[in-house]
Amino acid sequence: MQCSDSRPAQRGRTGATWRSGAIVAIKLVHSAIFLVNSASILHIFWVGVRGRPSRWTRLALVAALSESVVFVVNRGRCPLTTVVEDLGAKNGRVSDIFLPRWLADRIPQLCAPPLVIGLVGLLLNAARQRSGR
């Protein structure tokens, strides 16, 4: 007869492997979201300053503003941080996958001004077009 002592250990390793893989996957998804959001903010800034929206502007607005709402509703904490911590990550931060900590800590302060400037530019441009100028 065989002892079943190795099965719990294997299950533990499999669970740990699954969690580790899930954490990496979530961080990769977060990185993709971050890159899309950053590109959206840069697009909004650029077209807002130039006063020339493109066919991508609406999509960029949806991406950037929805991410902003999620961030504000969660009081400045990314909801993926909680998910990663629940999976057992020592550090729930998801922005540290490719950014130095000093930069990751300042993302809201760095992204908000160009987003606001771009939005104001888009609104001013829309108001000018409505008034016929």
Domain definitions of the chain by residue range: 6-131
Would you give the DSSP letter of residue 104? H
Task: Report residue 87 as tokens.
Answer: 């999976």
* pLDDT at residue 114 is higher than 90: yes
What is the spatial distance between Cα 132 and Cα 67, in angstroms, rounded to a whole number? Answer: 33
What is the spatial distance between Cα 83 and Cα 41, in angstroms, rounded to a whole number? Answer: 25
Q: Which amino acid is at 104?
A: A
Task: Report residue 50 as tokens.
Answer: 């130039």
Tell me what pLDDT residue 1 has.
Answer: 47
What is the spatial distance between Cα 41 and Cα 63, in angstroms, rounded to a whole number? Answer: 9
Find out whether 74 and 82 touch, Cβ atoms under 8 Å.
no
Give the HSE-up count for residue 36: Cα atoms under 13 Å, Cβ half-sphere.
17
Reported as a single tens digit per residue, the pLDDT across 57-107 is 999 999 999 999 999 999 988 888 888 888 887 766 665 556 787 887 888
